[in-house]
Structure 1
């Protein structure tokens, strides 16, 4: 029997934590009359991912999300002080990572901050967060796919002396008509994901090892060409430039959220999830700052603006030879493939959680009986990502991703506070140190970076949320599985 709640009550209703945990374990705690959570009864996501593979997912989704191409857009905003922008972004991500670690250990479910918001802030906020996440992941994957074509062209040029024609390798308005390499990349990633998460995680772990090696190689060679004079005009645009650059590069830390999307496919999730989040953050931060220092020391900041495959070009300039740049470009091709793999993986799991909750049609909650993967989601996400990558310029994509990431991170930090108050006795494998100061600082830092984004981004985000509102009020509010929970009578006050 469906509950007779008002629209306002439906917007604020929360999904019980016990239900989220039961679903993650393959059980269902909603009443017998409620619709099934998945499209095929008895099929659930499989727990096949260990600590190293999960850490590799976090590192793989983060290292390469921006570092291979973000300097060309961030350095012109901040100059050499972009190093401080990375520090500011890393501090913000670090505060949030601690909040993610607690939420992931308490609610080891797929859906990341969407699921956490549903349990703490209510259905309306959760749906909005879900849309931000879809924006964050989909747009991020598109931005990464665009940069993949740049490094592919660099490699082909150095190795074979050929290049993909500009009209087939760039978006409209940037010298081309259609970004073919980006579409090919997305197609290969979707094929691998459809085969199964275990195979995808193993391939990603191997690629992450290659990625770390190639970036360490860049740092070593880059520092050999270090010139202190390149850092002399350290902060040409002041603190506002540092803030602007930090806001635009924050999407480079998306991998911290990607770890939590795997909550239902991780072995021993209460221990593995928080450990993987913290390991990912430490490795990523050290690599980012090391690469930024080496790059800015080896090349004057004024040369970064619009530079394609910039890190490979720096290596070529330092050594005067093509082989280091060719090796780096090949490593970037592998690395960016792994990032795209993980980001698209994360988006399909968010769609799966929303479909299971009735927020989207149940088709999104169907799993393949053979591989246990959401094949339909993968095809839908792949098509959307390929279209964005083929036709939308890179600078717009990166700022949209940063906005979605910062909103999701803020919600997780607020959720920690709410869950501590509403369910203080809930089992937690990890607790945020310095509570409640740490989550409050996380929200404050995220707000500061959101304020620094290009105002045009808010228009795109507003349009996306308007579409989301139409979907929620037209479909989701009527099909939510929580409609089948009978609310208990309020207790009498003695």
Structure 2
């Protein structure tokens, strides 16, 4: 039964006071587990596994342990308020974070719906009512309570946790001596398949154990108290759950137990009498109501957190002025919750909640593997999962095994949600998210040496043998001069050649000017030019590049991309089909150059960007500034590693340089601010991002107050299949 303090919101920017000791950690962790699982599931699981349901609860706990160890370690490495979404996003990137965010949200909503339907069954002991309608009404009321704010419910939640634990221990103490051993004679009537299937269904009973990691920032001595509290609480529940279920099975008729949705009151009737039944039913109602309320509190914060990280529509990140609650997130959660309560059977709610939780726990274990294998300097947990990676491998394999035993609906639901998460990220979140993670950093570190070596070779190459300059119609004379000036700085000197293809009849013969020719002659650079009115412009340029072996293609982009789609379409086609590097000038013409800003370092475009920046800066007597951004919640050591990479790049330059590394959630505006003062900006324009207007690179270029060069190269070294797969997931 999660407390509000244990919700997994990731939007915490103000440091919190460390006031929670080991006992508080135990209370939160145990309280987060107790709820619908034990009050409703024993009967449903008994129908699947028979008396071996007792063992099923224990096995489910074993599968939870690796995730508890993994999350305890990550919490001590990053003792900040956060949760599953935060760790997975930081470990494996925003796409996996998106999948995790959806997964945890779905799991919490299904668990809340399951609790409400179970609650309505226990209410039958007090008043006759249509169960689903009452459950929907309760869901509506809880949504209203949460729209007002959650502070009003915090103390009540803590009191309920204590009361429920006392009642459950009393239930076991009184019931154990009355167990009929004969009830367990046929222990596994449905074999191992039934046992494993039941373990999968009851897995949701342990889902709250890792919630304490979400409040790591408030825990004293987190390196000791978090792992100790989590492991003790899991161990305690692995004993308490089977003991409760053993009492239920041993004191109830098998036929009745397999049909009931209120197994604890069924058992209580045989040895606690009417008063005991009323007490159990009353505690169940309060516990399940509290569980449902906590589920809404926690789940509503996932759309909120994802919106703040640009992975969901911005309106989901809004909060109420008075309540401070994520209003849109609560409303979206409420709509889904009411739909589930009204139309999804109880057993399917339990299976789907467990299925999504199994998938999330698999991602938690994978996140720890990502952090460990990345070998990052800033990842220094105070607690380390023992016997790594054996527990994590066991947890991943066991969770996936349980997932396959839950039936077609939960399995299809889990797989579908992964595809939905991938599709959502690829279509909505990718262009907006700040991409940083342990996996990405690990790939980056392995690529640094190669990139520095390639950059050094490019800087000392002496320039391009043949540079092609395209003058489209219409192009202002000042921009034509800028294109030629860029070509003059990037071509080999002496011995290089600049060829101009001019489709603007108004300026035929005007470019290059006599001054340009004189400058080229002084450097030993040949100039040739052709004027055309040919309709198949891109075809002609493409044939020239292929026939002559052009090394670099230079063109300018129209100021208004929307109004000149045909021109942009041709340039995009050329960029995608030419076998040489391409440079596209955006914004106004280049004037005096004192400072060149290279945006976004650490990628495959670095050698080309740095070569061009160094050649231009050398001839213009300018300096270079490397600019790179990280997420606002990234560790300081991550920025240090980027500074170190810039130091290596600076070592291959022939001009003065500096760098700016900043943490932010506003990628475009921050880059524009850091580039302020530069006379020229250089950034990469990969194929999949070079879209009209909506492209990230173009939005950045549009926001900077100076000329921008968008660079593309087809000469990227393709990594191996496994590396490409990892890059696809973390990017």
What is the TM-score normalised by the length of structure 1? 0.80
Name whichever structure is richer in strand by fraction: 2
Residue from 49, 61, 76 that aligns with 2:47: 76
1:6-45 matches, cutoff 5 A: 26=13
Q: Classify 1:391/1:55 alpha carbon distance in 2 versus 1 (closer, same or farther; 3 Å).
A: farther
Q: 2-side partners of 1:337 and 1:318: how far apart? A: 26
Matching residue of 2:20: 50
Which of 280, 284, 296 aligns to 1:332? It is 284
- Separation of aligned partners in 2, 1:54 and 1:369: 31
Measure the CA separation in 2 of the matches of 1:65 and 1:265. Answer: 27
Report the more deviating stretch, 109-118 or 392-401: 109-118
Quote how far apart the aligned CAs of 1:406 are.
0.9
1:27-69 deviation digits (Å, cap 9, x = unpaired):
xxxxxxxxxxxxxxxxx69669735555444323311131101
Provide the aligned C-alpha RMSD in A: 2.8
Q: Aligned-pair distance for 1:188?
A: 4.2
| Alignment-derived partner of residue 478 in structure 1 | 431
- Report the equivalent of 2:102: 131
**1:164-191: CA deviation from partner (whole Å, max 9, x where unpaired):** 1xxx31xxxxxxxxx1322233344444
Tell me the equivalent position of 2:138. Answer: 185
Question: Hey, what's the Cα distance between the residues in 1 that align with 2:32 and 2:55?
Answer: 22
Q: Is 1:163 aligned with 2:128?
A: yes
Tell me how far 1:324 sits from its aligned partner: 0.6
Given the alignment of the two structures, is residue 214 of structure 1 paired with residue 185 of structure 2, yes or no?
no
Displacement after TM superposition at 1:248 (Å): 1.0
* Equivalent residue in structure 2 for 1:308, among 242, 254, 261: 261
Given the superposition, is the C-alpha separation of residues 75 and 232 from structure 1 closer, same or farther in structure 2, using an over 3 Å criterion?
A: same
For 1:406 and 1:49, how far apart are their aligned partners in 2?
31
How many Å apart are 1:263 and its aligned residue? 5.0
| Greater RCO (CA < 8 Å, at least 6 residues apart) | 1
The change in CA–CA distance for 1:131 and 1:458 in structure 2 (over 3 A counts) is same
Match of 2:124 among 126, 143, 153: 153
Within 2, Cα distance between the matches of 1:101 and 1:213? 27
Do the aligned partners of residues 47 and 388 (structure 1) sit closer, same or farther apart at CA in structure 2, a change above 3 Å counting? farther
Query: What's the CA shift for 1:111?
Result: 5.1
The structure with the largest helix share of the pair is 1
1:93 correspondence with 2:64: yes
Report how far residue 265 of structure 1 moved.
6.6
Kindly indicate whether residue 259 of structure 2 is the aligned counterpart of residue 259 of structure 1: no
TM-score by length of 2: 0.55
Report how many aligned residue pairs link the two structures: 435
From 385, 394, 402, the counterpart of 1:441: 394
Q: Which residue of 2 aligns with 1:344?
A: 296
Unaligned runs of 5+ in 2: 1-9, 437-598, 607-644, 653-731
Structure 1 contact 215–291 (Cα < 8 Å) conserved: yes
CA 464–365 in structure 1, closer or farther in 2 if over 3 Å, else same: same
Q: Are the aligned partners of 1:53 and 1:201 in contact in 2 as well (CA < 8 Å)? A: no
Evaluate the alpha carbon distance shift between residue 323 and residue 329 of structure 1 in structure 2; reply closer, same or farther with a 3 A threshold.
same
Q: Is the 8 A contact 1:89 1:246 kept in 2?
A: yes
- Alignment of 1:394 with 2:365, yes or no, is no
CA change 1:470–1:446 in 2 (3 A) is: closer
The reply to whether residue 277 of structure 1 matches residue 230 of structure 2 is yes
Q: How does 1:452-491 map to 2 (within 5 A)?
A: 452-482=405-435, 486-488=600-602
Deviations 1:120-179 (A, max 9, x none): 22222221222221221111111111000011112x1xxxxx411xxx31xxxxxxxxx1
1:103–1:116 Cα contact (<8 Å) kept: yes
Q: Distance in 2 between matches of 1:354 and 1:391?
A: 28
- Determine the C-alpha separation between the residues in 1 that align with 2:308 and 2:227: 25
Could you tell me which residue of structure 2 aligns to residue 38 of structure 1?
none
User: Which residue is 1:117 aligned to?
Assistant: 88
Distance 1:273 1:358 in 2: 30
Distance 1:193 1:46 in 2: 22
Match of 1:15 in 2: none
2:300 and 2:25 map into 1 onto residues whose CA distance is: 17
Segments of structure 1 that go 5 or more residues without pairing to the other structure are 1-22, 27-43, 157-161, 170-178
Judge which range, 50-59 or 296-305, deviates more. 50-59
Counterpart check, 1:427 vs 2:397: no
Residues 224 and 325 of structure 1, relative CA distance in 2, 3 Å threshold: farther
